[in-house]
Structure 1
Amino acid sequence: MLIVWSLQVAGIFQGDLINEGGWSLVFRFLVAALSPEISPDFLLLTLDATLKTLAYAVCGTFFSVAIGFVAGVLSSQVWWKSLGKVYKTPWLAIRATLAIPRAIHELIWGLFFINIFGLDPLVAVLAIAIPFGAMTAKVFSEILDETPREPLLALLNNGVPPLSAFVYTLIPQALPNLISYIFYRLECSIRSAAVLGIIGAGGLGYQIFLSLQSLRYEQVWTLMFALLFLSGCTDFLSGLLRQHLKLPNRSPTFSQRPTPEVAPSSHFSTLSLLCAVILLVFSFWYIKADFTKFWEPRTAERLVRVIQDVFPPQWIDLHQLLALSAQTLAMSILAMVGAAVGGILLSFPAARRNLEASRQFSIDNLISKIRIGITRFLLLVARAVPEPIWALIFLFVLFPGILPGAIALALHNLGIIGRLMAEVVENLDRRPLLSLKALGGSNSQVFLYGVLPATFPHFLAYILYRWEVCIRATVIVGLVGAGGLGRLLTEQLSSFDYKGLLTTLIVLIGLTFVIDLISGNLREALR
């Protein structure tokens, strides 16, 4: 019923969805991929934009991890229980406080900080650090709450202070999961850094947006290839580091315990840490963010002015807000249904493990490797291109509305969900599957009775998690004309209606909280 309702809201049953005149632009756009701009000047511009996007992501991830580590401990139930006091009230207060920055998209944070700091690289760093810090805190608190507590309780019963007991027991156990999640968060930060370019923060997203607006499709493809290369290298290197450091696979929805059969090489760990420090120092040096603006008197004056402009919120035209909220919800439902179906279908051919795997060369193995490579490349393209860029492309042939936004969100989330689901398939315990095979089960029976029941709970957990993220992302596709509350936010920003903007954000945050509550309860039931 929800899917049919969402299709009705999107106007599927009303016709007049396709702009026939846009097909020529689509053809020009696709043909331009065969001749990307490779002039020396533009390649230098692309290199600078690529390094700037990477630097924004690294600096933003650094601060988000620092925020997430501290806030994750304070928002975990086990921390307050270890104090031996009534923990419910402060725990709920901290969790509720962290939910607010998590519910607001980094693009909105970027627009807010532009009014405070101007067009400074500090804007992009803070816009990534604050919402991602709140997300990291939520994940880390869940990891801590699911970590075995026997060592902690033993130290507490022997009179060890709670902080010391925490540092020597739970933190070392949870740290591998946190480090693994940092790699995942860095990949997300690269995509967010590209998105922030739309508001003038610079980097690849900014250049892609300018080239699209001026219809210079050859330049667009050069920049998109650079974005694909950056995302692909990050994905490959993070996977390589997790493998060598014996870390559990990334998981934003449930913690996994590392497999400590083989200890990671100390030399490799030292080298990895050194490279991380060098990359961090380079990133701060390259973007040259002016952190002195934090304590400038002018910053405080601008902050006071912004607060005066947005408060109190202006509660008018609630009917329009409800209608646009329905569009936003419908857009997210259509996006997640498309991403879920596509992710499940592509996750199995993208997984590296299968029952017939063999070390010997054969045509079947060669075909399997080609299939895996093509599928993973498609997933990489889908998730590397930011949602607003996908939306702008589909607006060539689709009239403005929630349908191009839903398709853009579906494609982007398909790449993320498909990749995460493929890791679930790769990590399956093969012994039950081999037993079914030995008992005479066909490949289809092994899949239906062995693979699907073992993977589906994890698949559903990922889908619910991405649904929460998708609600936030409806804002950025709305900013490029894809409908929903994001379109209203664009109009309010352009008309400097800050009181109305705050009202729309409150409605969006409320909608996000409802989805977060529903998906959280469903995920809890799956555990």
Structure 2
Amino acid sequence: MPSSPTVRVSLIFLAIALVGLLFADIAVTSSNPWRDLGNFLFGIATPNFFSTEGLKTALLRTVAFAFVGVALGSVAGFLMALAYRSLPVRIFCAFIRAIHELFWALIFLQFFGFHPLTGVLAIAIPYAGIFAKVYSEILEEANPESGRVLPPGTGNISAFLYARIPDCWAKMRTYTAYRLECGLRSSAILGFVGLPTLGFYLEASFSQGLYSDAGAMLILFYVLIATMPLWVRPKLLPVYVLGAPFFLGEGLPIVWGNVQRFFTEDIVPAPLRNGEGLTGLTPWLSDLMINEAMPGIWNTLVLTQIALVATGILSLLAFPLISNHFGGPVRRTAGHVVLVIVRSTPEYILAYILLQLWGPSMLPAVVALALHNGGIIGHLIGRQTNAIKLRPDAAKGFNRYSWELVPRVYRSFLAFLFYRWEIIMRETAILGILGIYTLGFYVDSAIQNIRFDRAMVLILITALLNIGIDTLGRYIRRKLALQTMPTC
């Protein structure tokens, strides 16, 4: 059985989630959700691949934004990883990665407009912070023995290039490929704020009730993700990266005066901008905190904790789908297909779909977050169980699951779950754009009302909240002696 500290922590988080359910808005408000769900499933079964003229362009731009954004983010992240031991660098990286890509896109839209630079930077900036963190950890774990065989007098730069980089290259390449898949998901959802990627056409199809068109877009997106090993080849990467900028589109010219005004006027708190000074700043900030920040923080925390526990439960239920210790190859193949679909669908898109079917509440967000993250963790834990060798007389069925496998993978499961805690928080905040009363709702409302000063304060609060959750997750993993950076 899992050790008592891990069980105790698990029960504490379960209790918090159950208490959160008492305050959560969990309801199906649609008048006929089953009919809407049936229409959507029928649309998936009868996809219309030829209805939207701009679908091909949307797919190309989804790929182009991902490649350019990830390429810039990886280069910047690698450079920052070299100085990651510096506290200012770590704080800067933590801050930029704590702000979701959609929040960055909403910021850049205010002064760049629908220019390709908006989408590229919205992906590149947070990804740079993520790359810096992961690359630095990979470099720190490099085997020092390779550097000791170099000739005496070898310089630090030469030792780094010829000893440390080759030792870390495989892990860095694998992680960058995974981040490219994440970049495709991020690029797709940028369409929900108006950029010409797949999400733009998906939202348009749903709003018009064209479920067959929406089904075709989702199927093409799944195919795009599933076939990445076939078309993302190392020899072709330079071609993709160099060619991608030509498929971003042009957009309207950037008015640099708008950029200057945004930073010098728009985001300056209204009391300071109007000459009221610090005397007017206190009531302004108090009103913002009481009426927007505090309700947003509360709903974000409640939804995050419920989604975290739901993710954990779903992960434990999902890993047998691909485990070699249960069923035959046909069932495992079907399990792989199910997990690929749920983990490949961005939480934002899944939540948007469920909101259209069930109506506005926290329920679609909880289900979307749990399915996506549970699919990821379930896949990783399922692969881990495949390396476990059981005795010939080991128990079968549920006893094998509960007494043989779960106790052996439970610590890894918790490591993955707490590692994704901060990611779930980021997604919870941004789902407010869809109408759920998390911090993203108040950020979007402030931007829609052209109150950028309030929006920036709320985005800053969101970033600090994410950093706090990330720090707490690291502390819990360290106290439980779990892996700081789980890998599988």
TM-score range (shorter-chain normalised) is 0.7 to 0.9
Structure 2 CA distance for aligned equivalents of residues 37 and 399 of structure 1? 25
Larger deviation: 165-174 or 480-489? 165-174
The answer to whether the 8 Å contact 1:99/1:134 transfers is yes
Name the SS of the counterpart of 2:295 in structure 1: helix
What is aligned with 2:432?
A: 478
**Aligned-residue offset at 1:185:** 0.3
Coordinate RMSD, CA, aligned: 2.6
The answer to whether the 8 Å contact 2:296/2:439 transfers is yes
Aligned with residue 309 of structure 1, among 258, 266, 283:
266
Aligned with residue 9 of structure 1, among 17, 20, 23:
23
Identity %: 28
**Aligned-residue offset at 1:22:** 4.0
1:274 aligns to 2:235 (yes or no): yes
The answer to whether the 8 Å contact 2:62/2:197 transfers is yes
The answer to whether the 8 Å contact 1:404/1:482 transfers is no
What is aligned with 1:267?
A: none
State the TM-score, normalized to the length of structure 1. Answer: 0.79
The answer to whether the 8 Å contact 2:191/2:199 transfers is yes
Unmatched runs of 5 consecutive residues or more in structure 1: 78-90, 242-271, 356-366
State the TM-score, normalized to the length of structure 2. Answer: 0.85
Structure 1 CA distance for aligned equivalents of residues 325 and 33 of structure 2? 43
The answer to whether the 8 Å contact 1:103/1:131 transfers is yes
Aligned with residue 42 of structure 2, among 25, 31, 37:
31
What is aligned with 2:169?
A: 175
What is aligned with 2:475?
A: 521
User: Which AA in structure 1 matches 2:475?
Assistant: N
The answer to whether the 8 Å contact 1:46/1:226 transfers is no
What is aligned with 1:244?
A: none
Aligned with residue 91 of structure 2, among 85, 93, 96:
96
Residue-by-residue CA offset, 1:324-343 (whole Å, 9 max, x unaligned): 21110111112222222212
What is aligned with 1:441?
A: 394
Aligned pairs for 1:157-306 within 5 A: 160-234=154-228, 236-237=229-230, 272-288=233-249, 298-299=255-256, 301-306=257-262
Aligned with residue 409 of structure 2, among 455, 459, 466:
455
Structure 2 CA distance for aligned equivalents of residues 25 and 329 of structure 1? 30
Structure 1 CA distance for aligned equivalents of residues 370 and 185 of structure 2? 15
The answer to whether the 8 Å contact 1:19/1:397 transfers is yes
Aligned with residue 377 of structure 1, among 337, 344, 355:
337
Name the SS of the counterpart of 2:227 in structure 1: helix
What is aligned with 1:339?
A: 311
What is aligned with 2:280?
A: none
User: Which AA in structure 1 matches 2:61?
Assistant: K
Residue-by-residue CA offset, 1:173-223 (whole Å, 9 max, x unaligned): 111111000111011011101110111111211100111112211211111
The answer to whether the 8 Å contact 1:122/1:289 transfers is no
**Aligned-residue offset at 1:155:** 6.6
User: Which AA in structure 2 matches 1:185?
Assistant: R
The answer to whether the 8 Å contact 2:106/2:193 transfers is yes
Residue-by-residue CA offset, 1:222-274 (whole Å, 9 max, x unaligned): 1111111112112x549xx8xxxxxxxxxxxxxxxxxxxxxxxxxxxxxx432
The answer to whether the 8 Å contact 1:405/1:483 transfers is no
User: Which AA in structure 2 matches 1:140?
Assistant: Y
The answer to whether the 8 Å contact 1:196/1:205 transfers is yes
User: Which AA in structure 2 matches 1:303?
Assistant: V
User: Number of aligned pairs?
Assistant: 450
User: Which AA in structure 2 matches 1:209?
Assistant: E
The answer to whether the 8 Å contact 1:402/1:484 transfers is no
Aligned with residue 63 of structure 2, among 19, 31, 54:
54
Q: Which runs of 4+ in 1 moved over 6 A?
A: 153-156
Aligned with residue 147 of structure 1, among 131, 142, 154:
142
Structure 2 CA distance for aligned equivalents of residues 153 and 302 of structure 1? 54
1:72 aligns to 2:68 (yes or no): no
Aligned with residue 327 of structure 1, among 284, 287, 299:
299
**Aligned-residue offset at 1:154:** 7.6
Residue-by-residue CA offset, 1:276-304 (whole Å, 9 max, x unaligned): 222223322222468x97xx7x43x3222
The answer to whether the 8 Å contact 1:315/1:503 transfers is no
Structure 2 CA distance for aligned equivalents of residues 144 and 446 of structure 1? 39
**Aligned-residue offset at 1:160:** 4.2
Name the SS of the counterpart of 2:286 in structure 1: coil
Structure 2 CA distance for aligned equivalents of residues 469 and 316 of structure 1? 29
What is aligned with 2:276?
A: none
User: Which AA in structure 1 matches 2:113?
Assistant: G
The answer to whether the 8 Å contact 1:52/1:202 transfers is yes
Residue-by-residue CA offset, 1:461-504 (whole Å, 9 max, x unaligned): 22112211111112332101122111111211110111111121
Change (3 A) 1:443 1:170: farther
Change (3 A) 1:455 1:305: same
The answer to whether the 8 Å contact 1:331/1:403 transfers is no
Unmatched runs of 5 consecutive residues or more in structure 2: 1-14, 271-283, 484-488
Change (3 A) 1:420 1:517: same
Aligned with residue 503 of structure 1, among 449, 457, 476:
457
The answer to whether the 8 Å contact 2:29/2:360 transfers is no
User: Which AA in structure 2 matches 1:452?
Assistant: V
What is aligned with 1:136?
A: 131
The answer to whether the 8 Å contact 2:439/2:462 transfers is yes
Structure 1 CA distance for aligned equivalents of residues 102 and 358 of structure 2? 24
**Aligned-residue offset at 1:354:** 4.1
Structure 1 CA distance for aligned equivalents of residues 41 and 401 of structure 2? 38
User: Which AA in structure 1 matches 2:482?
Assistant: L
Structure 1 CA distance for aligned equivalents of residues 457 and 37 of structure 2? 37
Structure 1 CA distance for aligned equivalents of residues 135 and 321 of structure 2? 31
Structure 1 CA distance for aligned equivalents of residues 348 and 321 of structure 2? 28
